[in-house]
Amino acid sequence: MRINLAKSAGFCFGVKRALKIAVNTAKTEKNVCMLGDIVHNEEVVKLITKSGIQKITLLSCGKSKTLLIRAHGACRKTFAKAKKLGYRIVDATCPMVKEIHKIVMEKEKLGFQIIILNSLHKIKKACVVAQSTQNFDKVKKVLKIIKAKIKNVKFFNTICRPTIIKQEEIKKMPLGNDVMIIIGSKNSANSKRLYEISRNLNKNSYWIGSENEIKKEWFNNAKSVGITAGASTPEPAIQAIINHIRNYSSKD
């Protein structure tokens, strides 16, 4: 059985950057915490926690503490609250997400209603941005509807480059492979979108987090398997799954 790994599988540059910042911060600072998960992957969160960064769900007194802001950013209120509570802030927000925030703030000042693919009542002029890992084809469809209802629409394609590349690949791979494996945590929205696109094109598509979830019967009569992985899936997880599939396909 041939195994075809997507070129874009796994970490995007925003995730790599956030993890580098996290590891450096853990080395140089004491009492480092992160609000929620740094990226949407359990293994990565475990590793980061091991490096000494504590995961918190609520902000408390921030005196002598450092707060790490995750790859997908935090709202203005969280930044303001953290500063007020005395945290030193280390911002690992992906530059692509920062870019979305910048567009929204600029256009809001100019009187635009901001639409993050949301409701459309009585709006005269609208600025539309998309969350950075949205399905581009769906965004185009929604934009068409918005344009039919609102006269003055400014659309900024804020879907990030790594997501576009992953989606381009996943529109082709399911057609050229008997089975498709999408690797990523169940709380990873971008992995979910890759799976949805793949499943629409090839019903033998499976979304898994680790090799333990693989079922041998998925590969019955399969000559080729395509593999891709979400932006927060670490390389060792991808390799473990490839080895697992390779191992038992060679035993047949």
Nearer to ligand SF4, 130 or 208 (CB): 130
CB distance 53 to 96 below 8 Å: no
Question: Distance between CA atoms of 205 and 35, rounded to whole angstroms?
Answer: 33
- Amino acid symbol at 214: I
CB of 27 to ligand SF4, least distance (A): 22
Nearer to ligand SF4, 96 or 127 (CB): 96
DSSP state of 36: S
Nearer to ligand SF4, 71 or 245 (CB): 71
* DSSP three-state, residue 205: strand
CB of 96 to ligand SF4, least distance (A): 4
CB distance 226 to 33 below 8 Å: no
**143-161 burial code (b ≥16 CB/10 A, e <16):** beebeeebeebebeebbbe
Which residue of this chain has its Cβ atom nearest to ligand SF4 in the complex? Answer: 14
CB of 71 to ligand SF4, least distance (A): 4
Nearer to ligand SF4, 12 or 225 (CB): 12
Token pair, residue 116, equals 């993050």
Sheet strands side by side (includes 66-69) = 54-56, 32-35, 66-69, 88-91
Nearer to ligand SF4, 2 or 161 (CB): 161
CB of 9 to ligand SF4, least distance (A): 13
Residues making up the chain, counted from first to last: 252
CB of 207 to ligand SF4, least distance (A): 17
CB of 180 to ligand SF4, least distance (A): 20
Bridge partners (DSSP) of residue 3 are 225
Nearer to ligand SF4, 41 or 66 (CB): 41
Give contact residues for ligand SF4 (rule: CB under 6 A).
12-15, 71, 94, 96-97, 132-133, 160, 162-163, 190, 231
